[in-house]
Amino acid sequence: MRKTKVSHVVEHFHMKVLSGEEGLGREIAVTDLSRPGLQLAGYFSYYPADRIQLLGLTEVKFFETLSREDRLQRIEYLMADETPCIVISRNLPVAEEILQVSEKKQVPVLQSPLATTTLVSKLTNFLENRLAPTTTIHGVLTDIYGVGVLILGASGIGKSEAALELVKRGHRLVADDAVEIRQTQGGQLVGSAPELIQHLLEIRGVGIINVMTMFGAGAVRSMKNIAMVVQLELWEQRKQYERLGLDEEKIKIMDTEIPIITIPVRPGRNLAVIIEVAAMNFRLKRMGFNAAVHFTQRQAEAIEDSDSEL
């Protein structure tokens, strides 16, 4: 299970640390947030202590109505050992009791100028990105007509060369050689390039080229949802390859299954054009038009017509 630290939240959102600075190394392991209004009111039967505790205008104003004894009791309960931090939105003033217990338990109290609903949305997105399961796959990721195509195959089979030709045809490179893939909570796979090799493409015999410098900023993008996989393999004379495209194979990456097609490689085949057409055909299928099914229906109708004539 991936984790992040409170210090990463502070750095990303430029929050002000009001107290409990010693606890900035506390770990965050869940993406959900908690607005502990019921706990401040004295309901202690259930408390998700492992979440970031977010106090908005409603919680802060209610807390001010409590007696000092109740304030200390409630905030002592909120700042459990596993509580990562407490975040105050709208730069609202913070009660002295919160700062006092924070220093005692070393639970950071952070302050943000953002409105509560905005902060909830941004924090949730940030945590989902930081905590999402990830893996790295050897391949090339491209954006072809808005379709994220992950190109796989043995080393030296021509993945990078195909990507270069696709870029020249107006498509965009996301990652070459190593593709970092993150799985969102909705099961979507998002691919990107490691920072060290971002925008770079390795062509054997030529070396490393910077695609953004050579072809412009429109030739690259930082990340892309992966919609399909193209597997390149050397042509085998005895192997039967898909001719119609009726059967859709799947490949499982982490917990998500996505379509995969296998393209045999042999001299004279323009891989870039074939991959481009595969992406266009994928879009057509998702829009409701399947050429293979349409052809099969026409073939069946033609057979029926010929039988009726007999």
Which entry of 243, 247, 266, 307 is annotated as an active-site residue? 243
From the DSSP assignment, how many helices (H) and strands (E) are in the chain? Answer: 10, 17
157 marked ligand binding residue: yes
156 marked ligand binding residue: yes
Would residue 171 show up in a list of annotated catalytic residues for this protein? no
Using an 8 Å Cβ cutoff, are 107 and 83 in contact? yes
Which entry of 74, 159, 171, 182 is annotated as an active-site residue? 159
In sequence order, the 6+-apart residues with CB closer than 8 A to the CB of 279 are 144, 145, 147, 149, 228
Residue with tokens 């052809």: 295
Using an 8 Å Cβ cutoff, are 190 and 159 in contact? no
Would residue 138 show up in a list of annotated catalytic residues for this protein? yes
285 marked ligand binding residue: no
Query: In whole angstroms, how far apart are CA 226 and each of 3, 143, 187, 288?
Result: 24, 9, 11, 20
Would residue 81 show up in a list of annotated catalytic residues for this protein? no
154 marked ligand binding residue: yes
| 3-class SS letters over 266-294 | CCCCCHHHHHHHHHHHHHHHHCCCCHHHH
Question: Hey, is 87 helix, strand or coil?
Answer: strand
Size of the chain in residues? 310
61 marked ligand binding residue: no
**Among residues 219, 232, 236, 225, which one has the least CA distance to residue 278?**
232
Q: Which amino acid is at 105?
A: K
202 marked ligand binding residue: yes
Cα dihedral 151/152/158/161 (nearest 10): 30
Which entry of 8, 90, 130, 177 is annotated as an active-site residue? 177
158 marked ligand binding residue: yes
Q: Which residues of 92-116 are buried (b: 16+ CB within 10 A; e: fewer)?
A: bebbebbeebbbebebbbbbbebeb
Would residue 14 show up in a list of annotated catalytic residues for this protein? no
Query: In whole angstroms, how far apart are CA 73 and each of 2, 42, 54, 68, 69?
Result: 33, 9, 18, 9, 6
Which entry of 138, 168, 204, 250 is annotated as an active-site residue? 138
Binding site as annotated, residues: 153-160, 202
Catalytic residues: 138, 159, 177, 243
Binding site as annotated, residues for ATP: 153-160
Binding site as annotated, residues for Mg(2+): 160, 202
